[in-house]
Amino acid sequence: MSKTAIEIKDEDCSRCSVCYSVCPFDAIQRDKETYEVKIDIEKCQVCGICYSACPAGAIETAYYEIDSLLHYVQKEMKRRNTRNLILTCRGNTPSSCEIVDLLKDESITSFIPLRLPCLGRVSTDFFLKAFQMGANKIVAIQCEEDFCRSKRGSTVNTRRLLLAQAVLQQLGLGKDHLSVVETSNKVKYDTSKCVGCDKCVFICPYGAIEAESFATPKINFERCVGCGACALVCPHFAIELENAEYEPTSLYMRQILAKLKNKDTSPSILVLCCAWAEFPTLDAVNKDNLPQNVALIEIPCSKALDPMYVVEALCQGFNGVLAVVCSEKDCKLEKGRETVERNAEVLQKALQKLELADRFELFESSPRHVDTFNKKLAEFVRMISCRTEAKPVHA
């Protein structure tokens, strides 16, 4: 049985029920008589809000615990020679942490990036200790409250920031030392490329795109959640998901393949991973901690998994492609799951015609079970290695 990512230490629990009251996914159960709390791990989305809210420190998490985050900040202050800290959410920031445009009003040019699945998992204590360690300015870039993938994460973080600001003011530090920026990932729309086919209108699961008589469709950005379903069906790339555009992703895929070929590692594996299906391995990309023969590209949601990425990767020379996505019950963008299933069916038929179906696998994963992804990746690499030796892939 794999280790779970969140656990409650019963001997340390004070029965205050704070975790029970803040859990956005009803994953914490409470006994009405004894007030004993337990986590239903299959409902848990590993947002970390309960961990950061527990006043007794009775909840343990496998990811992003406060001590390790503070250690990272301290190390990066010395390495980068800066004392500005930028906290970002996966729901609104690319894996490359290219967020300079979002900081134009903050007068920050150098900073330490800290990218988390949800800012709701950061406690007030973290902010205060970071300043105690020497932080000069902290900016939290969180999702707009209506678009938070953890439902209450942005709301919780806003309240904690206000509390931290009040404490800092009492210590003589102004509000400008700790600030928040709200943004959400959206699609980009180039109407000059649009041919008015209205495919995006029919595919959008959130009703954010409206057909217009004798004109290009209209996007209601107040309703757009950035799932990427419309971008997949647009035949002329008039709509693309911000930070996940097709051409840059395709170019990056070719570049990392060339690097793997130069290393002479075999088999060469490409992992297309949903931002919410795995945590530590996605963090390892920027740290160069992946196996030598494995390349990974983060996708913002399974609905943004373009089948062309898989076909192109295998035809270019990757020996195998593993797509890692959330299950239907875990999907942070619950609507439009049929789009994923339809695309997967079309992809399988295309790969069968190309005799490449045995080089691709779709795997449902969740960070709630530690090391599940690593075990699957090792298994997939072994399988592709055997198949590559038996039947070399044709570029």
- In this prediction the pTM is 0.90
Torsion, Cα of 113, 116, 122, 128 (10° steps): -10
CATH of domain 6-61: 3.30.70.20
Question: What stretch(es) of the chain map to CATH 3.30.70.20?
Answer: 6-61, 187-241
Q: Which residues pair with 12 in a beta bridge?
A: none
Nearest to 135 by CA among 127, 123, 146, 143: 127
Q: Which CATH fold would you assign to the domain 246-390?
A: Rossmann fold (3.40.50)
CB burial of residue 21 (10 Å; 0-12, 13-18, 19+): exposed
Q: Which CATH fold would you assign to the domain 187-241?
A: Alpha-Beta Plaits (3.30.70)
**Full pLDDT tens readout for the chain, 395 residues:** 568 999 999 999 999 999 999 999 999 999 999 999 999 999 999 999 999 999 999 999 999 999 999 999 999 999 999 999 999 998 888 776 677 677 766 678 789 999 999 999 999 999 999 999 999 999 999 999 999 999 999 999 999 999 999 998 888 887 789 999 898 888 999 999 999 999 999 999 899 999 998 889 999 999 999 888 899 889 999 999 887 888 989 999 999 999 888 877 789 999 999 999 999 888 876 656 677 889 999 988 888 888 999 999 999 999 999 999 998 889 888 776 777 788 888 899 999 999 999 999 999 999 999 989 989 999 999 999 998 876 655 44
Question: What stretch(es) of the chain map to CATH 3.40.50?
Answer: 246-390
Rg, Å, the chain Cα set? 22
Q: Rounded distance, CA 379 to CA 262, Å? A: 24
Q: Which residues of 229-268 are buried (b: 16+ CB within 10 A; e: fewer)?
A: bbbbbbeeebbbbbbbebeebbeebeebbeebeeeeeebb
